[in-house]
């Protein structure tokens, strides 16, 4: 199998579905290489890519998850037609990224720098 045949596309996800929760649905079939819910513009688009390390695990997950509900929604499970954008990783994207505290505004940073004494 090619790499893309170990990668599953999952569509129809709820906006509240978290990457870590989705991974738990699939990692029971085998070790995941990657799992991500893309969030272009900071908002989840309702789909994900999941890649398994082993072909057989991917096949098992594909067959078992085809007709499942996740977070109250019927999901679509298909083989990915192409690889997602380079750089997608298991935990560096998805809703978890939106849960981190935001950095300070530039104005506050400038203000705090002005108090520095040399």
Domain boundaries, the chain: 3-114
Q: Which has more pLDDT, 45 or 115?
A: 45
User: What burial letters (b/e) apply to 44-78, b meaning 16+ CB within 10 Å?
Assistant: bebbbbbbbeeeebbbbbbeebeeeebeeeebebe
- CA dist 71 → 68, 76, 84 (Å): 10, 13, 23
pLDDT of 97 reads 37
Q: How confident is the model at residue 90 (pLDDT cuts 50, 70, 90)?
A: very low
Domain spanning 3-114: CATH superfamily = RRM (RNA recognition motif) domain (3.30.70.330)
Mean pLDDT of 64-84: 90
pLDDT of 64 reads 96
* Confidence (pTM): 0.68
pLDDT of 99 reads 36
Q: How confident is the model at residue 43 (pLDDT cuts 50, 70, 90)?
A: confident
């Amino acid at each position: 199998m090619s790499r893309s045949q170990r990668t599953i596309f999952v569509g129809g996800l709820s906006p509240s579905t978290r990457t870590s929760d989705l991974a738990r649905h699939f990692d029971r079939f085998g070790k995941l290489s990657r799992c991500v819910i893309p969030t272009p513009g900071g908002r989840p688009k309702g789909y994900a890519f999941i890649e398994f390390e082993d072909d057989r695990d991917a096949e098992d997950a594909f067959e078992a998850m085809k007709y499942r509900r996740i977070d109250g929604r019927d999901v679509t499970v298909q083989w990915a037609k192409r690889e997602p954008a380079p750089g997608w990783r298991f935990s560096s994207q998805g809703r978890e990224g939106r849960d981190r505290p935001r950095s300070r505004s530039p104005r506050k940073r400038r203000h705090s720098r002005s108090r520095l004494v040399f």
